[in-house]
Structure 1
């Protein structure tokens, strides 16, 4: 009996140790990256006054925001979030590249902003509507009672 208790105790210790390692691994920070910022070497190839908007888009790809083209500015943005266990993700790095164009669609100014700059840049939010007009689950459930036909519940053919 004592040998079984010793084996059980060893098994419980091993299971506890494995659980502790699993919990520690699950709570290790993870990094998530969103968006795109062109490398500094490619940004250096842009010439103020000569590079056109079409050349910038061909070189870097489409901008983050379509609305920005109306203001004659292209934005490229990237963010890095650190996720630690069940806590809310924390943004640890953000970079925004703003390329301004003049009336002839040539580069006028190139600006780079980071999280430390604290400058707010309005970009388009692409949100797909779900079609539900703030109706709770209970309201949907109660609203469907009037549409139930007793004949359908009993399996009768109309």
Structure 2
């Protein structure tokens, strides 16, 4: 069965329309939000000089980042990231609420920072690379032959 020119033209228009819709949607920026910060109403409930770490966690919620080393504060962070096609993701906005504690354990200050207050600090986990990642057992064994010192066995 041979298709009529009208049917071919309609199918071609449909394919062209689908292609145009796909091209337009592929070039649309996508935004993702990560993290959470407490709103002004929750932050107003935190009383400087009165609240403790436990009362802040109960009132405001658990922090995004807790200063484990010196227990100096709670940090709540939210970021908005723009992704556009194959380009590298770009941080559009970042808000940070820092609730710091005095050495006695009570709230010392409540501060809010935005991206405009400073430079972008990447929040990511660092993982130490292993030197063994692409070496097989045989390659490690042969690679260690030059490191062998027979004198270390004879000095017993």
Counterpart contact for 1:37–1:96, Cα < 8 Å? yes
Structure 2: how far apart are the matches of 1:69 and 1:36?
Answer: 22
2:135 is the counterpart of 1:126? no
Partner of residue 81, structure 1: 81
Partner of residue 149, structure 1: none
Question: Alignment partner of 2:103: what SS?
Answer: coil
Aligned length: 140
Partner of residue 111, structure 2: 111
Over the aligned positions, Cα root-mean-square deviation in angstroms equals 3.1
- In the alignment, structure 2 segments of 5+ residues that lack a partner are 143-156
Residues 30-68 of structure 1, C-alpha deviations (whole Å, 9 max, x = no match) = 111111101111001111111111111122333223435
Structure 2: how far apart are the matches of 1:79 and 1:104?
Answer: 32
CA apart distance, 1:133: 2.8
Question: Alignment partner of 2:4: what SS?
Answer: helix
Structure 2: how far apart are the matches of 1:135 and 1:126?
Answer: 19
Return the TM-score normalized by structure 1: 0.73
2:25 is the counterpart of 1:21? no
Structure 2: how far apart are the matches of 1:121 and 1:66?
Answer: 16
Return the TM-score normalized by structure 2: 0.74
2:86 is the counterpart of 1:61? no
Counterpart contact for 1:113–1:119, Cα < 8 Å? no
C-alpha change, 1:112 and 1:49, in structure 2 (3 Å) is: same
Structure 2: how far apart are the matches of 1:134 and 1:5?
Answer: 64
Deviates more, 1:34-43 or 1:58-67: 58-67
C-alpha change, 1:135 and 1:103, in structure 2 (3 Å) is: closer
C-alpha change, 1:5 and 1:120, in structure 2 (3 Å) is: closer
